[in-house]
């Protein structure tokens, strides 16, 4: 060590500016929590958080293309897929933040009144108080999680990938426990997510250590070189890959690592569930694509069959178990599991079409999911969320526009033509068929038909069921209205005119190696 000197890594701060903006915004939000009065925090945190995300997205669009490459000692890769996934995370986070900022009461004394029918509970009590969103630490926590997601999809090193995984996960564990009126269920969700998430992180770290033992490095390029030249310890490669993938499959809720998904989706505050379901899936699949396509593609014959089994199990289990659910949030949770299987069929293609179709599907799923959970948060009964399917009977007679929006989103989840869901499934199934995975696409089509049953069951109940109970639709603020309208509009646009996003994904579908 006597003659060696530490050389600071070359860091392109301009390329990292979107991530820096988000992390700085989160730190400023923490400062606001410590020094601002309780009455002013909400008014400060909402514009601060939304402005941070918008500014980061603008910086990404303006600076990203001209500053591609690897930086920070080759641990961060900013290439086409990374930039596209980062932009997608930021856009979805903006919509999720708007929904999490929903606040009734005060200036809208009749917010819980629909057609002259008032619901129990004080009109002065805000909706946000009911679900715990007035605990304004939700905003810096969300920004920190988003920063971790941006780093997660661009990490080019297993150690940095683990650090990003923890940065995005730890705030989510807290966010899941913020529901006040359903404290026990919410705390159960948070604890279960934390415990199982800790186990999955341990699996990931153990796999990273095995790959380090195999290749002598945690850099993806070095691992790929060791796999290509077959110079490592062969007995460590396959277990290492599978353990790393286990940690990533947990975050996307794929079978058999899905046990947390329905309970956490049900117990977490509904706006948080929507943000988590959309953004976490984008980040986790983005990291999985980089690991599988860059680091260990040379060992595809060893891990592809295992991932194919996981895809089949996810599609089948998610589809079948969604049928027997009676809670809307649990239906969407098992739907998320099935969609993870659909996306995995695109990942398995291992070519440019597979990469671009997977990114496209992640976009379609995200813009379907956030407005769907936003609508679920609006349907109320006896002052609480009406998540039981029976409580949605006759909802169209109370609020036809909300019912129409939810119907369209259910059609998109089912993959009906002229929706983004159809285009996304067609893209990933086509990529799978082109690489010899036709049987996997057949399973996907059959699973889609099964899930369509429960989606249309809810739709029929909303439009043709008899109006019962005191279920009403709360009047949303402009923030939730914008999130729902934008989500529905993009879902329609990607179904009718998918070419711009598909072309963008195909033109940027090339990892730096």
Q: Does the global pTM surpass 0.85?
A: yes
Q: How far apart are CA 6 and CA 11, in angstroms?
A: 15
What's the pLDDT tens digit per position in 411-427? 999 999 989 999 999 99
Using pLDDT thresholds of 50, 70 and 90, give the confidence band for residue 247: very high
Query: Taking 90 as the threshold, does the pLDDT of residue 329 lie above it?
Result: yes
What's the pLDDT tens digit per position in 266-304? 888 899 999 999 999 999 999 999 999 998 988 888 899
Crossing angle of the two packed helices 352-378 and 420-434, in degrees rounded to 10: 150
pLDDT of residue 156: 92
Query: Taking 50 as the threshold, does the pLDDT of residue 133 lie above it?
Result: no
pLDDT of residue 232: 56
- Mean pLDDT of the region 434-438: 91
Query: Taking 70 as the threshold, does the pLDDT of residue 368 lie above it?
Result: yes
pLDDT of residue 11: 85
- Domain ranges in the chain? 17-507
Query: Taking 50 as the threshold, does the pLDDT of residue 119 lie above it?
Result: no
Using pLDDT thresholds of 50, 70 and 90, give the confidence band for residue 508: confident
Tokens, residue 103: 């606040």
Tokens, residue 118: 């008032």
Q: How far apart are CA 300 and CA 483, in angstroms?
A: 40
- Give φ, ψ of 398 to 5 degrees: -85, -45
Using pLDDT thresholds of 50, 70 and 90, give the confidence band for residue 180: low
Tell me the average pLDDT of the chain: 87
Query: Taking 90 as the threshold, does the pLDDT of residue 64 lie above it?
Result: no
pLDDT of residue 106: 32
What's the pLDDT tens digit per position in 382-401? 777 888 888 898 889 888 99
Cα angle 314, 317, 319; round to 5:
95
- Mean pLDDT of the region 55-75: 90
pLDDT of residue 5: 65
- Give φ, ψ of 78 to 5 degrees: -110, 90
Tokens, residue 115: 């057609």
Using pLDDT thresholds of 50, 70 and 90, give the confidence band for residue 187: confident
- Mean pLDDT of the region 471-499: 92
Nearby residues of 492 by Cβ (< 8 Å), 6 or more positions away: 408, 418, 419, 420
pLDDT of residue 1: 46
Whose tokens are 């810096």? That residue is 140
pLDDT of residue 179: 72
- Mean pLDDT of the region 476-480: 89
Query: Taking 90 as the threshold, does the pLDDT of residue 444 lie above it?
Result: yes
In sequence order, which ranges of 385-437 are alpha helices (DSSP H)?
A: 395-398, 400-414, 420-434
Higher pLDDT, 386 or 132: 386
- Mean pLDDT of the region 437-465: 92
Q: How far apart are CA 250 and CA 29, in angstroms?
A: 29
Tokens, residue 500: 């711009």
- Mean pLDDT of the region 231-244: 83
Q: How far apart are the first and last CA of the chain?
A: 31
- Give φ, ψ of 327 to 5 degrees: -115, 130
Asked if 374 and 488 touch (Cβ cutoff 8 Å), the reply is: no
CA atoms within 13 A on the CB side of 20: 8
pLDDT of residue 113: 30
Tokens, residue 91: 């856009």
Query: Taking 50 as the threshold, does the pLDDT of residue 454 lie above it?
Result: yes
């Amino acid at each position: 060590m006597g003659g060696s000197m530490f050389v600071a890594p070359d860091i392109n701060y301009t390329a990292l500016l979107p991530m820096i903006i988000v992390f700085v915004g989160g730190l400023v939000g923490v400062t606001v929590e410590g020094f601002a009065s309780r009455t002013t925090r909400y008014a400060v945190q909402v514009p601060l958080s939304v402005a941070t995300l918008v500014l980061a997205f603008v910086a990404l669009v303006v600076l990203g293309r001209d500053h591609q490459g690897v930086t920070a000692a080759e641990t961060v890769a900013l290439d086409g897929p990374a930039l596209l996934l980062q932009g997608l995370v930021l856009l979805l986070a903006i919509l999720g933040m708007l929904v999490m900022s929903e606040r009734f009461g005060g200036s809208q004394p009749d917010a819980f009144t629909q057609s002259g029918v008032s619901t129990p509970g004080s009109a002065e009590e805000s909706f946000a108080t009911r679900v715990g969103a007035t605990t304004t630490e939700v905003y810096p926590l969300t920004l920190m999680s988003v920063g971790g997601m941006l780093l997660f999809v661009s990490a080019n090193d297993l150690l940095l990938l683990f650090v990003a995984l923890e940065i995005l996960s730890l705030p989510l564990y807290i966010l899941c426990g913020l529901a006040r009126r359903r404290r026990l269920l919410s705390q159960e969700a948070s604890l279960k997510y934390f415990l199982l998430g800790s186990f999955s992180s341990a699996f990931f770290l153990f796999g990273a250590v095995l790959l380090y033992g195999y290749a002598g490095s945690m850099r993806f390029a070095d691992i790929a070189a060791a796999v290509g030249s077959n110079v490592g310890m062969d007995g460590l490669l396959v277990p290492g890959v599978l353990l790393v993938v286990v940690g990533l499959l947990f975050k996307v809720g794929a079978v058999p690592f899905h046990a947390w998904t329905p309970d956490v989706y049900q117990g977490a505050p509904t706006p948080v569930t929507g943000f988590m379901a959309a953004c976490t899936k984008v980040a986790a699949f983005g990291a999985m694509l980089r690991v599988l396509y860059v680091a260990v593609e040379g060992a595809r014959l060893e891990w592809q069959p295992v991932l194919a089994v996981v895809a089949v199990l996810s599609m089948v289990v998610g589809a079948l178990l969604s049928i027997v659910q009676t809670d809307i949030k649990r239906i969407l949770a098992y739907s998320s599991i099935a969609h993870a299987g659909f996306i995995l069929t695109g990942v398995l293609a291992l070519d440019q079409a597979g990469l671009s179709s997977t990114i496209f599907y992640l976009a379609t799923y995200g813009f379907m999911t956030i407005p769907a959970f936003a609508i679920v948060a609006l349907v109320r009964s006896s002052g609480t969320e009406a998540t039981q399917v029976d409580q949605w009977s006759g909802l169209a007679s109370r609020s036809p526009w909300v019912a129409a929006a939810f119907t369209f989103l259910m059609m998109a989840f089912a993959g009906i033509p002229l929706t983004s869901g159809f285009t996304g499934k067609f893209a990933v199934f086509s990529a799978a068929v082109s690489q010899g995975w036709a049987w996997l696409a057949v399973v996907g089509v059959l699973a889609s038909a099964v899930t369509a049953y429960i989606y249309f069951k809810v739709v029929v109940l909303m439009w043709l069921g008899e109006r019962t109970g005191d279920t009403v639709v709360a009047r949303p603020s402009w923030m939730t209205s914008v999130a729902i309208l934008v989500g529905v509009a993009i879902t329609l646009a990607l179904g009718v005119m998918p070419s711009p996003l598909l072309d963008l994904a195909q033109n940027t579908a090339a990892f730096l190696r």
